[in-house]
Amino acid sequence: MTISYDEFAKVDLRSGTVIRVEPFPRAQKPAYKVWVDFGPQLGVLQTSAQVTVHYTPETLMGRTVIGCVNLGEKNIAGFTSQFLLVGFSDVQGAICLATVDKPVPDGQKLH
């Protein structure tokens, strides 16, 4: 399937810093509640992330991540998810977070 550049440009992927992580026992699959600071324009947004195989709350704290911030809100087991934390599945299906290789300010848009 091919999409136009204009369609791709509608996807708002931003850099942010993980500032808070909590276990999420009510989730159907193992997950964390994650809060990310996306800078002064967007502020702090929260999500649920099934990243417990490769990450602990301690290894997530302070990490620069990439989030899709314009999908709208979604209720996940009584918790409001405000963005999608993006990553890739490894060969076993566990999520490996997409990240940046150099420091960038929170809130930067992916080009």
Q: What is the pTM of this model?
A: 0.95
- The architecture CATH gives domain 11-97: Beta Barrel (2.40)
- What are the residue boundaries of the structural domains of the chain, listed by start? 11-97
pLDDT at position 2: 95
Dmax over CA atoms of the chain, in Å, equals: 40
Residue among 23, 98, 92 at smallest CA distance from 67? 98
pLDDT at position 42: 98
pLDDT at position 16: 99
- Classify each residue of 43-69 as buried b or exposed e, where b means 16 or more C-beta atoms within 10 Å of its C-beta: eebbbbbbbbeebeeeebeeebbbbeb
